[in-house]
Amino acid sequence: MPKQPLLVLGPLMPYLLEELEKRYAVEKLYEEKDALGFLETNASRFRAAVTSTFTGLKADMIDLLTAVEIVSSFGVGTDSLDVAYAEKKGIKVANTPDVLNEDTANMAIVLLLAATRDLVANDRFVRSGRWARGENAPLALGIEGKKVGLVGLGRIGSVIARKLEAFGCDVVYHTRNRKPDAPYTHYDDLVAMARDCAALIAILPGGASTQGIISRQVLQALGPEGTFVNIARGTVVDEAALVELLQSGELGRAGIDVFVDEPNVPEALFTLDNVVLQPHMGSATVETRKAMADRVVSNLEKYFAAN
């Protein structure tokens, strides 16, 4: 029996591509010199497509996928996927939640500890020979007993909260609506929460509704002893204000995994000792990325088994 045709919209990790090719007749749109011409001729052959949060799925592409019934996306974020328009066109969009919760939460903790304990700055301090020359590194900050505010308390945020409790932190949170089952104090006012906290961790979806929610005012309220961690999306923070306040010391420290214009990072951050930078590595472990790839495949298999 011939394999079902499958359209891959953008580059994928080798393991996932191999697993898809075992099961489907994979065609790679991103390798076509004339992608539009290819779709005009071949779109009717594909009932399914695969994308990623990096490649995305915009309305103009959805209009070209005239026979596609399901798009399976590698990643949990949907801010680069026009899910509402896809559903309007009768296309189901599936992603890969849950399997990345633990490792993404771990990255939040890593960034919080690395920033508060001056991990990167002290690494440079040792490598530069300053310790050997008899200099002393400045004292860092602890987190035990400190109030840490989560901006977002979804799947990943809840895991972060559990891990913070193990470090002896007092967890509080800000969401649009209070979560009745959450055993943590809820703040309606994000600025007030920032003012009361030693650290803020952003873990909420990207998109228009959350753009710039971590404003200059929020960061200023966090203050010169405060630490900001972002593992959400670069768009949720006023990035220009973040850079300026880190430079001036009005914000104490930051650990940043996501940026507005990835992979471009504001160069002003490169020389700062009070910020830890990561290249969007929240879920980037071998184990989690394999689990995400397996979910992409299983999403397709479950759909075709039922349809």
Q: 3-state secondary structure string, 56-94?
A: CECHHHHHHCCCCCEEEEECCCCCCECHHHHHHCCCEEE
Among 164, 131, 137, CA closest to 150: 164
Q: Is 195 a residue of the active site?
A: no
Q: 139 and 267 in one domain?
A: yes
- Per-residue pLDDT reduced to its tens digit, 230-275: 999 999 999 999 999 999 999 999 999 999 999 999 999 999 999 9
Tokens of 2: 């011939």
Q: Which residue has the tokens 């020979």?
A: 129
Closest CA to 306 of 75, 49, 69: 69
Are residue 114 and residue 220 in the same domain, yes or no?
yes
Shared-domain flag, residues 151 and 233: yes
**Per-residue confidence (pLDDT) for residue 191, from 0 to 100:** 99
Phi first, then psi: what are they for 304, rounded to 5°?
-70, -30
Q: Are residues 124 and 180 both part of a single domain?
A: yes
Looking at 174, 253, 280, 295, which residue is catalytic? 280
What is the per-residue pLDDT across 47-72, written as a single tens digit (0 to 9) for each?
Answer: 999 999 999 999 999 999 999 999 99
Q: Of the candidates 30, 21, 79, 8, which has an alpha carbon nearest to the alpha carbon of residue 234?
A: 79
Structural domain tally of the chain?
2
**Sheet strands side by side (includes 4-8):** 24-28, 4-8, 48-52, 70-74, 92-94
pLDDT at 284 over 80: yes
What does the pLDDT look like over 122-148, one tens digit per residue? 999 999 999 999 999 999 999 999 999
Give dist(CA 227, CA 206) in Å, integer: 21
The pLDDT of residue 2 is above 90? no
- Residues 245 and 268: beta-carbon distance below 8 Å: no
Instruction: State which residues form the domain around 83.
Output: 4-99+286-306
Structural tokens at position 205: 């979806």
Q: Which of 87, 262, 287, 301 is catalytic?
A: 262
Residue 168 and residue 255 share a domain: yes
Measure Cα distances from 97 to 104, 107, 293, 294 in Å: 11, 16, 11, 12
91 and 105: one domain?
no
* Catalytic-labelled residue, pool 47, 102, 174, 233: 233
Q: Is the pLDDT confidence value at 1 over 80?
A: no
> What pLDDT score does 256 carry?
99
What values do phi and psi take at 233, rounded to 5? -140, 150
Which regions of 175-295 does DSSP assign to beta strands (E)? 185-186, 199-202, 227-230, 253-256, 275-277
Average pLDDT of the residues in 187-209 = 97
pLDDT of residue 59: 97
Rg over CA atoms, the chain? 22
Q: Quick check: is 280 catalytic?
A: yes
Regarding whether 117 and 161 lie in a shared domain, the answer is yes
| CATH code for the domain in which residue 292 is found | 3.40.50.720
Task: Tell me the pLDDT tens digit for each residue of 171-195.
Answer: 999 999 999 999 999 999 999 999 9
Distance (Å, rounded) from C-alpha 237 to C-alpha 214? Answer: 4
Q: DSSP letters along 103-164, please?
A: HHHHHHHHHHHHHHTTHHHHHHHHHTTTTTTT--PPP----TT-EEEEE--SHHHHHHHHHH
CA distances from 267 to 41, 125, 168, 188, 259 (A): 44, 21, 35, 34, 12
Are 91 and 68 within one domain? yes
Q: Is 27 a catalytic residue?
A: no
